[in-house]
Amino acid sequence: MPDLGRRLAPSGIQLPGLPARELVPRKRGGHLLTLVQAATCHRHQILHRHLRRDLTHTHLLLHAVRKKLDQGQAT
């Protein structure tokens, strides 16, 4: 009877913030692609966090531009 209740952890644990070139592929395969995708997702989250921080400034700037365009069309 196989022991299905216990799973083994992956042998190589890498942090997702590491550059892809520092990741070492395992002989069993499969782990490298997952780590590269995790690193890409992590960078995507960091980028959007920085953009959200500047969202208020961007919104105010676009609002001012829209206001000037609306005034120009009204005359």
Which tens digit of pLDDT belongs to each residue from 14-37? 555 555 444 455 555 544 444 444
Two tokens at 19?
A: 């550059």
**Position 48 confidence tier, pLDDT thresholds 50, 70, 90:** low
Q: What share of the chain is helix, strand, coil (3-state, %, to 5)?
A: 60, 0, 40
The radius of gyration of the chain's CA atoms, rounded to the nearest angstrom, is 24
Q: Which of 2, 28, 1, 26 is nearest to 14 (CA)?
A: 26
pTM above 0.85, yes or no: no
Residue 28's identity, in one-letter code, is R
CA-CA distance, 4 to 71, in Å (whole number)? 70
